[in-house]
C-alpha cells in the first residue's frame, strides 16, 4: 500500500425504488429540472418503458434513435435538439450505449463545440447540466461511472471521456425497468457488471474501498444473475442485479479495468461483438493471464467459476461460436494494446501477449 496513490469518488445520488420510474418527476423536480429531455432507444420504447417515464415527466423532447454502439454524431444531434427545444436537463433511459450517448450530448449541450474536442481525462472543467439515469440493464455501471466511451465512426475507434462531472446527478434503480430484458441480454449485461467487479479487484489501482464494492458485486452476481436469467420477472433478482451493477460501476470507475475490457473494446470496434458478450467470453482467459500466482482479492479457482457461471447463463464460451473471424485477432490485439483500459492492468502486456489471450478464447 505504501507506494500507492488512491482516489475514490462517487458523486451520484443513488435512489432505489421499485416502480420509481413512474414517479420520476419527483426526482427531476428535486434537482430543479423543468424541461427534461429523454434519451432512449427503440428497444426501450418497444418494451413500453419510455411511456412509463413520459407519463410522469412532461418532456421537452424525446430521442429514440441511439444506435447499439453510441457514437459522436448521435450525441451531437441530441445536443442540438435539446438546444432547439430549450431543455434544461437530461434523463437517460437505457443501457450503456444510451447512457454514454446522453453523457456525450450533455457535454456538447453544456459546453458547446465539437464533442471530440472534450475527449480525454479531466478535460471537463465544471458541472454539466442536470442528468438523471434510469438503467434498463444491470451491467454497464455507467449510471455511476465517470466515463463515457463513444465511437468515432470516421476513425473506427472508441473515444474516451473521463471526468467527475460525467457522473449522473441521480441514478434511479427501478427493477420494474429491467424485468422485461430478455434472458440473453440479461446474461450478457450481467457478465459485463461481473467483469467490472473482477477487473477492479485485479487492477493495479485497487484499494480497500473499491474492493469492498467489487467483492460485494461479485458475490451478488454469482447468486442472482442465474435467477434473473431464468426468471426475468423476479423483481428481487432484478433489484440485486441493479445494486451489484451499480456497485461494480462505482468500483471500476475509481479502480479501473484491464485486459478483458481492452480486448472487448477491440472486438466491439473491429468485429461488432456485443460488449457484454465479448467480456463474458474473454473474462476467464483475461483473469488467468492476470493471475500468475496467488492474489489477495481473487481466488485461484476464479477463472473456472467465471466460465461455469457463463455456461449456466446460456452464454457461448468461445469467439469462434459468435462468428469472430480468426484472422481478425492480430488487429484486435493491436487495438487492445493501445486501449485506455490497459493503464491499470496489473501485468504488462504487448500485442503478442494479448494475441495469446485472444487465441485462448477462440
Ligand atoms: Fe464494461
Residue 27's CB is within 10 A of a number of other CB atoms, namely 25
> Does position 95 have pLDDT exceeding 90, yes or no?
yes
pLDDT one-digit tens code per residue, 234-256: 999 999 999 999 999 999 999 99
Per-residue buried b or exposed e for 156-195, using 16+ beta carbons within 10 Å of the residue's own CB: eebbbbbbebbbbbbbbbbbbbbbbbeeebbbbbbbbbbb
**Average pLDDT for 335-344:** 94
Q: For residues 80-97, give the mean pLDDT.
A: 97
CA pseudo-torsion sign 67, 73, 76, 82: negative
In the predicted model, what is the mean pLDDT of residues 327-342? 96
Joined grid coordinates for residue 32: 430543479
Could you read off the pLDDT of 15-48 as tens digits, one per residue?
A: 999 999 999 999 999 999 999 999 999 999 999 9
- Using DSSP bridges, classify how beta strands 131-135 and 170-173 pair: parallel, antiparallel or unpaired: parallel
**Percentage of residues of the chain with pLDDT beyond 70:** 100
* CA 264 – ligand 1 centroid, Å: 8
Any idea which of 98-102, 175-179, 236-240, 289-293 has the lowest mean pLDDT?
Answer: 289-293
pLDDT level of residue 293 (50, 70, 90 thresholds): confident
pLDDT of amino acid 312: 98
**pTM confidence score:** 0.96
* Whole-angstrom distance, CA of residue 217 vs CA of residue 194: 7
- The SS3 assignment for 339 reads coil
Mean pLDDT score of the chain, rounded to an integer?
A: 96
* pLDDT value at residue 3: 92
pLDDT band at 157 (very low <50, low <70, confident <90, very high): confident
Q: How far is the CA of 229 from the centre of ligand 1 (A)?
A: 19
Ligand 1 centroid–CA 221 distance in Å is: 15
Banded model confidence at residue 8, pLDDT cuts 50, 70, 90:
very high
Q: Ligand 1 mean position to 99 CA, how many Å?
A: 13
Range of weakest confidence among 151-155, 168-172, 234-238, 343-347: 151-155
**pLDDT (tens digit per residue) in 49-88:** 999 999 999 999 999 999 998 999 999 999 999 999 999 9
252 CA → ligand 1 middle, Å: 9
Residues 159-193: tens digit of each pLDDT = 999 999 999 999 999 999 999 999 999 999 999 99
Torsion 163-164-169-175 (CA) sign: positive
Q: Tell me, in angstroms, the distance from the centre of ligand 1 to residue 273's CA.
A: 13
C-alpha 350 to ligand 1 mean position (Å): 21
CA–centroid distance, residue 196 to ligand 1 (Å): 6
Please tell me the distance from the alpha carbon of residue 305 to that of residue 3, in angstroms, as a whole number: 32
Q: How much is the pLDDT for 101? A: 98
235: CA distance to ligand 1 center in Å? 23
CA 84–ligand 1 middle distance (angstroms): 33
Give the residue from 25, 80, 81 showing the smallest Cα distance to 53: 25
pLDDT tens column, 202-219: 999 999 999 999 999 999
275 C-alpha vs ligand 1 centroid, how far in Å?
Answer: 7
Between the CA of residue 314 and those of 68, 147, 252, what are the distances in Å? 22, 30, 26
Average pLDDT over residues 5-10: 94
Residue length, the chain? Answer: 362
- The answer on pLDDT for 155 being more than 90 is no
Edge-to-edge strand ranges of the sheet holding 120-121: 120-121, 157-162, 147-152
- Measured in Å, residue 220 CA sits from the centre of ligand 1 at 17
Q: Cα of 29 to ligand 1 centre, how many Å?
A: 31
Alpha carbon of 248 to ligand 1 centroid (Å): 10
pLDDT 10s digits, 349-361: 999 999 999 999 9
Q: For residue 256, report the distance from its CA to the centre of ligand 1, in Å.
A: 11
Distance 25 CA to ligand 1 centre (A): 29
pLDDT at 292 exceeding the cut of 90? no
Amino acid at each position: 500500500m505504501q507506494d500507492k496513490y488512491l482516489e475514490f469518488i462517487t458523486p451520484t445520488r443513488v435512489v432505489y425504488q421499485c416502480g420509481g420510474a413512474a414517479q420520476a418527476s419527483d426526482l427531476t423536480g428535486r434537482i430543479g429540472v423543468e424541461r427534461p429531455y429523454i434519451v432512449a432507444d427503440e428497444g426501450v420504447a418497444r418494451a413500453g418503458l419510455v411511456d412509463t417515464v413520459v407519463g410522469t415527466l412532461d418532456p421537452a423532447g424525446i430521442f429514440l434513435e441511439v444506435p447499439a454502439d453510441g457514437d459522436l454524431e448521435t450525441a451531437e444531434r441530441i445536443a442540438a435538439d435539446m438546444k432547439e427545444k430549450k431543455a434544461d436537463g437530461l434523463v437517460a433511459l437505457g443501457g450503456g450505449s444510451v447512457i454514454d450517448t446522453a453523457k456525450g450530448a450533455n457535454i456538447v449541450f453544456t459546453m458547446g463545440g465539437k464533442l471530440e474536442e472534450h475527449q480525454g481525462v479531466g478535460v471537463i472543467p465544471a458541472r454539466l447540466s442536470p442528468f438523471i439515469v434510469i438503467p434498463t440493464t444491470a451491467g454497464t455501471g455507467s449510471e455511476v461511472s465517470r466515463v463515457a466511451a463513444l465511437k468515432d465512426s470516421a476513425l473506427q475507434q472508441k473515444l474516451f471521456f473521463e471526468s467527475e462531472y460525467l457522473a449522473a446527478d441521480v441514478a434511479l434503480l427501478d427493477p420494474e425497468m429491467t424485468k422485461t430484458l430478455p434472458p440473453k441480454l440479461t446474461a450478457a449485461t450481467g457478465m459485463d457488471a461481473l467483469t467490472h467487479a473482477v477487473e477492479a479487484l485485479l487492477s493495479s489501482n485497487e484499494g480497500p474501498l473499491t474492493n469492498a464494492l467489487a467483492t460485494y458485486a461479485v458475490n451478488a452476481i454469482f447468486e442472482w444473475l442465474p435467477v434473473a436469467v431464468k426468471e426475468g420477472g423476479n423483481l428481487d433478482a432484478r433489484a440485486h442485479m441493479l445494486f451489484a451493477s451499480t456497485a461494480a460501476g462505482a468500483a471500476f470507475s475509481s479502480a479501473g479495468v484491464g485486459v478483458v475490457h481492452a480486448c472487448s473494446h477491440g472486438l466491439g470496434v473491429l468485429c461488432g461483438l456485443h460488449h457484454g458478450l465479448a467480456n463474458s467470453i474473454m473474462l476467464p482467459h483475461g483473469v488467468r493471464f492476470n493471475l500468475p500466482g496467488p492474489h489477495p482479492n481473487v481466488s485461484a479457482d476464479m477463472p473456472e467459476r467465471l466460465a461455469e457461471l457463463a455456461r449456466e447463463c446460456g452464454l457461448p464460451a468461445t469467439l469462434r461460436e459468435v462468428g469472430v473471424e480468426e484472422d481478425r485477432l492480430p488487429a484486435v490485439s493491436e487495438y487492445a494494446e493501445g486501449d485506455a483500459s490497459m493503464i491499470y492492468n496489473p501485468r504488462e502486456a504487448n500485442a503478442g501477449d494479448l494475441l495469446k489471450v485472444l487465441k485462448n478464447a477462440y
